[in-house]
Amino acid sequence: MGLFEQISVSTIVSKPMNITILVATVLLFAFLISLRPVFKKYLKERKVNKSIQQLGSQYLKQVILPDGMGGSVFLDYLILSQNSIILIILKNFKGSIFCAENIEQWTQLIGNKSYKFPNILRQLDSDILSISSQVKGVEVTGLVVFPSDCEFPKGKPEQVKSITELTRKEVDIQLHSEKLLNAWYTLKEMASSHLSTQSFAEDYFKDKDAPMNYTLPVILFLSLIAWLVWRINFAT
């Protein structure tokens, strides 16, 4: 067996094309492994989009709208549901969340450490008020959506959901009222003139345990290209 392995390795190494393929394969594999956080982020974002899309017949993401007072409202998602328009705020927290509608500070508990953060419903209520002022006579509601690995030991307000709680709803666009459709198209047109190239929910999709560093993938990719170019020139 040892002689067979020795002969096999010697045979492989003796052929330049085999060396080229072997090294290129190793570099390509390392490059793909280094992009693992990117793939995880893509799959998570795709899953979230699919869950949120279930809530209505149409949706927009990364929405910027005027607040009616000279400022802007930044929304992760805007949903056209059966009888209302829904605003979605995404928050990337894990661990246990202690929250209630009428307290100013919510608490995140991870192990033995706790962190305070402002009541997110205050922001949601403000955003709902701003959007309602743009489309009067139409119901505007909102949700704050947390990742699936969050727990709420003491319960949570109705407007707070985990991503797994967003269940499919039967929505028929033909049953939307004319007023609701007009409001939606108004918001859609307003949003189209305030497009954002960066996701406001970027933090939600990041894996905090495996932060993305593009330096290694770039180095590996350039090494792969350089190796192939050198081998082609060397072979010729």
pLDDT at 120 over 90: yes
Confidence class for position 12, pLDDT limits 50, 70, 90 = very low
In the chain, the domains with their CATH numbers are 58-205 (3.40.1350)
Question: What is the phi-psi region of residue 95: left when phi exceeds 0, alpha when psi lies from -120 to 50, beta otherwise?
Answer: left
The pLDDT value recorded for residue 51 is 84
Model confidence pLDDT, tens digit, residues 130-179: 999 889 889 999 999 998 888 999 999 999 999 888 877 777 777 889 99
Model's pTM, two decimal places? 0.69
